[in-house]
Amino acid sequence: MHDSLMVFDKPEGKIAEISLICDMRCPSPQQVSAFYRYHLVALGWNMTSANNFHKGTQQLSITYSDSDDTTPSVILTFHSKS
């Protein structure tokens, strides 16, 4: 599994995006969603839609990219408003 991190800090808030790219034995999108639903809700986050969560002025979204079958990736985007 490979990962990358991009952080943008602006006067309106901070945006961080983490990409996880799997080489083999990646969890399915359903397994990733179930993991975050369980753990984020336990930490006080509210689920606003299937893969979107918020807590106060913070938002987290989970997206999946499956451009080809050999390199699926999970993208977590965190946005915090000032």
pLDDT-derived band at 68, boundaries 50, 70, 90: low
pTM check: above 0.75? no
DSSP state of 45: -
Are the CB atoms for 13 and 5 separated by under 8 Å? no
Query: What does the block give as tokens for 11?
Result: 């006067």
Q: What pLDDT score was predicted for residue 6?
A: 67
Q: Can you give the residue range of the structural domain that contains 51?
A: 2-81
| Tally of structural domains, the chain | 1
At 36-56, the pLDDT tens digits run: 899 999 999 999 998 899 999
